[in-house]
């Protein structure tokens, strides 16, 4: 039985993907798999294949198009075998030893449609306005039909997904699952952002199209989706 399926999309960053893989291997104790979505037109595709194709617990899924990040994440759902699905970026590193063993008992105790809220080490707490890198149960994802809510595409999908689970009272904190979001933290240092910068400000910087807004993220009715998890 596979405990965690770590899913992500990567492009043009095979060396960072390798760093993430090493951090997963160095901190994991359970039976986990890694599913990587790749683009067929990526000039570095051969490097991913050279590095990862012979690793038993890594699966590469190569598509002919470069499309929305979370659409690609959701396309991995039929291939997931783990009890839980852990969404990451390729510029991340896991910090805590035995993160999987420490979290699975808590996740198991919370029911079969749970959402585990992990911690991005770049901010003090991942709250409901910046729900980065969730762990969701495969049962829940199959009931919803998605891993990440695509209502806003890349814009706010983490927030929308969190809201769905929060609406069903299915969120559990996982303080022993901390992530170093490498490039994000580097950018914070470059532009002198403070760690207490509000998540709403972070989201506002994400939205480049006037039709999107933070308010619209929280005004959409998600109750029907939440009901699927009850």
Burial class (CB in 10 A: 0-12, 13-18, 19+), 148: buried
At residue 98, φ and ψ (nearest 5 deg) are 60, 30
Within 10 Å of residue 125's Cβ, how many Cβ atoms?
A: 11
Region 47-59: what's the mean pLDDT?
A: 97
Least-confidence region, from 73-87, 149-163, 176-190: 176-190
- Give me 177's structure tokens: 């699952």
CATH class of 4-227: alpha beta
Q: Which of 85, 73, 177 is nearest to 135 (CA)?
A: 85
pLDDT band at 96 (very low <50, low <70, confident <90, very high): very high
Annotated domain spans of the chain = 4-227
Contact of 91 with 9, CB cutoff 8 Å:
no
Mean pLDDT of the chain: 84
Nearest to 129 by CA among 195, 63, 199, 186: 199
Q: How far apart are CA 97 and CA 76, in angstroms?
A: 26
Average the pLDDT over 211-218 and give the result.
60
Tell me what pLDDT residue 122 has: 62
């Amino acid at each position: 039985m596979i405990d965690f399926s770590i899913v992500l999309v990567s492009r043009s960053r095979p060396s960072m993907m390798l760093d993430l893989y090493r951090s997963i291997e160095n901190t994991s104790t359970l039976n986990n798999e890694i599913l990587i979505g790749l683009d067929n037109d990526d000039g570095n595709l051969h490097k991913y294949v050279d590095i990862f194709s012979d690793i038993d617990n890594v699966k590469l899924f190569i598509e002919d198009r470069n499309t929305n990040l979370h659409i690609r994440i959701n396309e991995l759902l039929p291939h997931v075998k783990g009890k839980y699905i852990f969404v990451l970026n390729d510029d991340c590193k896991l910090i805590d030893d035995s993160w999987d063993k420490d979290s699975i008992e808590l996740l198991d105790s919370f029911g079969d449609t749970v959402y585990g809220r992990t911690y991005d080490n770049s901010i003090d707490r991942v709250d409901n306005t910046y729900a980065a890198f969730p762990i969701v149960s495969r049962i829940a994802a199959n009931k919803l039909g998605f891993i990440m809510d695509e209502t806003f595409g890349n814009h706010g999908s983490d927030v929308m997904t969190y809201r769905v689970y929060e609406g069903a009272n299915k969120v559990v904190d996982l303080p022993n699952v901390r992530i170093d979001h490498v490039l994000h933290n580097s950018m914070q240092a470059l532009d002198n952002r403070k760690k207490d910068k509000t998540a709403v400000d972070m989201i506002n910087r994400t939205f480049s199209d006037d039709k999107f807004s933070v308010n619209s993220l929280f005004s959409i009715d998600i109750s029907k989706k939440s009901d699927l998890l009850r």
